[in-house]
């Protein structure tokens, strides 16, 4: 009769198997690394050829444009305060686009997230279609939607707001849905037993539980939408991005104004990030969270 001790692997066998598995893992990692490096080199070579070999000839001049901008801004530093005042309305328009898009997108995302959450949707068959719709809205970049809307509606802030709002619905809808899954269903069941409608169950039974997380994600999305709004200005969607494109396209003589716009946009994003981080930490932690003496 064979004892259990005779069938158990010895420490030497265990060590040998472990080393063999590690060698196999290292070999696979090396193969994957070589494949990745080969694809990178091949892709870069193809892109450089399609670009008429411009990268290798032009990389030495990569800092020429920033140097021209900084040099012209330094020479006309006394004009920068006036440029700040001149382009402040455009910055406010950019922030307004982001704010309106975030507000509209968050409200639509709230409803969509309820319809996409198991246990909260009024009908089970709604969950899959709503989730696929949110996937589509997240997958399509804002700039693509904005280009289509600009073709249909013309240039201006409205196409940018609609494009950012649609993408916000997809992004926040997914996040809100994940938050909803952690909500307790007992208040919902209590409201249902008293004859409350589906909307009453959601607004009174679910939203109070998840409101801090909703607001935190909405503030985070607002930061992202400010950047997106500025980028969409490059395709004619209004805001400070449109002014930045015009000054950069003009070339020499307008670089000081481009520098002023850069500084104005950078300052606005930093301020919004800091304020949003403070509010989000107060919502989620109950107080401003400090890490090594710096407010996040």
pLDDT of residue 44 exceeding 80: no
Q: What is the DSSP letter of 253?
A: T
For residues 201-228, average pLDDT: 88
Cα 132 to the center of its chain, rounded Å: 19
Mean pLDDT throughout 100-123? 90
Q: Which of 50-59, 90-99, 156-165, 166-175 has the lowest mean pLDDT?
A: 50-59
Residue 211 clears pLDDT 50, i.e. is over it? yes
Contact 281, 213 (CB under 8 A): no
122 and 196 in contact (C-beta within 8 Å)?
no
Question: In the prediction, which pLDDT does 52 show?
Answer: 58
More confident residue, 1 or 213: 213
As a whole number of Å, the end-to-end CA separation of the chain is 67
pLDDT band at residue 17 under the 50/70/90 scheme = confident
Strand partners, 291: 294
Q: Are 116 and 178 in contact (CB under 8 A)?
A: no
What homologous superfamily does CATH list for 68-285? Answer: MetI-like (1.10.3720.10)
Q: What DSSP assignment string belongs to 153-204? A: H-SSHHHHHHHHHHHHHHHHHHHHHHHHTTS-SHHHHHHHHTT--HHHHIII
Query: What mean pLDDT do residues 136-157 have?
Result: 87
Q: What is the pLDDT of residue 5?
A: 53
Residue 252 is classified by DSSP as T
With a cut of 50, say whether residue 293 has pLDDT above it. no
pLDDT band at 66 (very low <50, low <70, confident <90, very high): confident
Whether 295 shows a pLDDT value over 50: the answer reads no
| Tokens describing residue 81 | 């305060």
Q: Is 116 helix (H, G, I), strand (E, B) or coil?
A: coil
User: What's residue 286's pLDDT?
Assistant: 63
Distance CA 168, CA 224 (A): 10
Q: Which helix (H) or strand (E) element contains residue 295? A: strand 294-295
Q: Is the pLDDT of residue 292 over 50?
A: no
Q: Is the pLDDT of residue 191 over 80?
A: yes
Q: Which of 32-46, 219-233, 235-249 has the lowest mean pLDDT?
A: 235-249
Residue whose pair of structure tokens reads 């700040």 in the numeric block? 84
* Partners of 108 in the β-ladder: none
What mean pLDDT comes out for the span 18-36? 90
Taking alpha carbons only, the member of 269, 262, 280, 284 closest to residue 70 is 262
- The confidence band for 284, taking pLDDT boundaries of 50, 70 and 90, is low
Q: What is the DSSP letter of 51?
A: T
Q: How high is the pLDDT of residue 296?
A: 43
Name the more confident of 28 and 293: 28
- Segment 262-273 shows an average pLDDT of 87
> What CA–CA distance (Å, rounded) separates 173 from 160?
20
pLDDT above 90: residue 106: yes
Give the chain's count of helices (H) and strands (E).
13, 2
Sign of CA dihedral 92, 93, 94, 95: positive
Q: What share of the chain in percent tops pLDDT 70?
A: 89
Q: What angle do CA 183, 188, 191 make, to 5 degrees?
A: 155
According to DSSP, the residues that pair with 201 across neighbouring strands are none
pTM metric for this prediction: 0.74
pLDDT at 51 over 50: yes
Q: State whether residue 278 is helix, strand or coil.
A: helix
Q: 265: buried, middle or exposed (CB in 10 Å: 19+, 13-18, 0-12)?
A: buried
Is pLDDT above 80 for 10?
no
């Amino acid at each position: 009769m064979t004892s259990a001790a005779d069938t158990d692997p010895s420490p030497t066998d265990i060590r040998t198997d472990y080393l063999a598995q590690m060698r196999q893992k290292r070999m696979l990692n090396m193969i994957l690394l070589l494949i990745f490096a080969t694809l990178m080199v091949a892709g870069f070579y193809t892109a450089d050829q399609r670009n008429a070999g411009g990268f290798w000839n032009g990389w030495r001049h990569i800092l020429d444009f920033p140097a021209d901008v900084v040099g012209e801004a330094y020479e006309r530093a006394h004009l920068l305060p006036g440029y700040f005042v001149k382009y402040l309305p455009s910055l406010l328009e950019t922030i307004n686009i982001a704010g309106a898009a975030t507000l509209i997108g968050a409200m639509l995302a709230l409803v969509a997230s309820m319809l996409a959450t198991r246990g909260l949707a009024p009908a089970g068959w709604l969950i899959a279609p709503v989730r696929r719709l949110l996937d589509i809205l997240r997958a399509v970049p804002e700039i693509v939607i904005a280009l289509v809307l600009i073709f249909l509606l013309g240039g201006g802030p409205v196409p940018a707001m609609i494009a950012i709002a649609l993408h916000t619905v997809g992004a926040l809808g997914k996040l809100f849905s994940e938050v909803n899954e952690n909500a307790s269903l007992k208040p919902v069941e209590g409201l249902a037993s008293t004859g409350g409608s589906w909307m009453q169950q959601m607004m009174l039974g679910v939203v109070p539980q998840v409101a801090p997380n909703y607001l935190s994600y909405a503030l985070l999305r607002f930061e992202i939408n400010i950047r997106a709004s500025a980028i969409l200005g490059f395709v004619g969607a209004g805001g400070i991005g449109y002014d930045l494109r015009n000054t950069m396209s003009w070339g020499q003589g307008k670089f000081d104004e481009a520098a002023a716009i850069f500084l104005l946009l950078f300052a606005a994003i930093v301020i919004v990030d800091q304020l949003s981080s403070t509010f989000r930490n107060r919502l989620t932690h109950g107080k401003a969270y400090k890490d090594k003496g710096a407010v996040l």
